[in-house]
Amino acid sequence: MAEIVPFKAIRPCKEQLQNFSSKSYKSYSLNEIQSTLKRNPLSFLSIIHLKKSLKGSLKKSERYQLVKNKFRDLIDKKILIKDPSPAFYIYETRQADNHLFCGVIAGASVEDYNNNVIKKHEATIAKRENTFKNYLKAVRFNAAPVLLTFADNQTINKGIQTAKNNAKEINEWTTENETHKIWHIDKNNDIEILAKAFASIPKLYIADGHHRSASSVLLAKEIGANSTSKLNKAHTHFLSYLIPESQLKIYDYNRLIKNLNGLTVDQLLYKINLVFEIEKKETNLHFSTRKNEICMYLSGNFYSLYLRKTIEDKTTAINQLDTQILQTYLLEPILGIENVRTDKRISYIYGKDSMKQIKTAVDCGEQAVGFGLFPIQTNELKAIADSGAVMPPKSTYIYPKLRSGITIYDF
């Protein structure tokens, strides 16, 4: 059963709520970072961003120490304030289209991760795990929650609503067409009700943050092996945001391929026809409308591809996944893309306009062919995680995309 724990979050003071949190650092261009810092010099980006003049001159350990120093400076200046007692934090985001995400920010259990109560659907890379583990070990705080999801549960919904009603502190702000609210839940009874409700949940699923969670687990193992103190157990949990699965938004993650692996258009279509039924679409723009339909744009034409029934393998969830079908029967054997993580010929695109962007990229000669996929459904994600299999990279693009710095977990 799932364990979640309250913690003493470090949070921006009320005067900085509007401007402190940030998107994932990698999602910003350098110009965006510079303009954001010019407008908001005390935002979370100010902690993790290094001046260009320093980037090539510092070792990793020195960069990490600089981040830690900046973080502690903001605490000393009261820009960031640590809550006096452990709490849960109910966090709600409403998007411009009125879609609502509402869940609990808490510490999730490393033991649950190790015992497979927390399920994974994505393979992680050891080098990335270790890099982030070393970063966490040096700076001793985590500002980016792992997104966990669970089967909708009325007891949890009721516990969240009751805790909201009882909360004395509610903060609200807006960023980038989203409205954010956070309730500080520090009453023992509300904490106990929510913790007990989650203890009845048999499985949690990582929706986003596989490397962050894996790095926290590595660090917990390292600290546990070297620590003689039994007082501070914060490292046995990691920062998480838990929302019901009905609230997840999963978008298609589509593929662009730079060249045809030495094939002509006719040769490629011939090879594809051996394993897929090909249906040419007489439309200016087409996208996948259902599971197991792979949309292809090639040489000015849209096609729908359906794996031939004589080849279909329905014995496992992973073999029925569209990204797996595309990789197994087309990208690798026909286009020669064996490692989708490292092959520079493949790139990825997501979003409602992605097929239009694929058409533009192919028409101008920048790319040779594009593939559109129907969004993976939550039940597929869960089935694959339950089976112990892992999806091909870039199979899902999941919302909410969590901002960093709203509730910071230190240890």
pLDDT in tens, 87-100: 999 999 999 889 99
Q: What angle do CA 24, 27, 29 make, to 5 degrees?
A: 130
pLDDT value, residue 230: 46
CA dihedral 14, 19, 23, 27 (to 10 degrees): -170
Whether 228 has a pLDDT exceeding 60, the answer reads no
Mean pLDDT on 231-248:
89
Rounded Cα–Cα distance for residues 183 and 279 (Å): 52
Cα–chain-centroid distance for residue 215?
Answer: 14
53 has a pLDDT exceeding 70:
no
Query: Is the predicted pLDDT of residue 140 greater than 90, yes or no?
Result: yes
pLDDT at 231 (0 to 100):
45
Q: Say if strands 146-150 and 237-244 run parallel, antiparallel, or are unpaired.
A: parallel
Q: Is the pLDDT of residue 196 over 50?
A: yes
Instruction: Supply the Cα-derived Rg of the chain in whole angstroms.
Output: 23
Residue 261 in this model has a pLDDT that exceeds 60: yes
**Structure-token match 């089967």, residue found:** 151
What pLDDT shows up at residue 30?
87
Mean pLDDT to the nearest integer, 21-40: 90
pLDDT of residue 232 exceeding 60, the answer is no
Higher per-residue confidence, 244 vs 29: 244
pLDDT tier, 226 (very low <50, low <70, confident <90, very high otherwise): low
Please give, one letter per residue, the 3-state secondary structure of 34-57: HHHHHHCCCCCHHHHCCCHHHHCC
Is a pLDDT exceeding 90 seen at residue 161? yes
Average pLDDT, the chain: 93
pLDDT digits (tens, 9 = 90+) for 103-126: 999 999 999 999 999 999 998 889
Q: Is the peptide bond before 400 cis (omega within 30 degrees of 0)?
A: yes
Using the predicted structure, report yes or no on whether residue 293 has a pLDDT greater than 60. Answer: yes
Query: Each residue of 319-372: pLDDT tens digit?
Result: 999 999 999 999 999 999 999 888 999 999 988 889 999 999 999 999 999 999
**Cα–Cα dist 67/134, whole Å:** 13
Predicted pLDDT at 225: 67
> In terms of C-beta distances under 8 Å and separation of at least 24 residues, what long-range contacts does 367-370 make, across chains too?
367/256, 367/257, 367/258, 368/257, 368/258, 368/259, 368/260, 368/298, 369/256, 369/257, 369/260, 369/268, 369/296, 369/297, 369/298, 369/335, 370/254, 370/255, 370/256, 370/257, 370/296, 370/297, 370/298
Does pLDDT of 55 surpass 70?
no
Question: How distant is the alpha carbon of residue 334 from its chain centre?
Answer: 30
Give me 300's structure tokens: 């000015």
pLDDT at 229 over 80: no
Residue with tokens 């009325």: 154
Contact 292, 322 (CB under 8 A): yes
Task: Give Cα 369 to chain centroid, integer Å.
Answer: 27
Q: Is the pLDDT of residue 233 over 90?
A: no
Two structure tokens written together for 303: 């096609």
Of the chain, the end-to-end C-alpha distance in Å amounts to 24
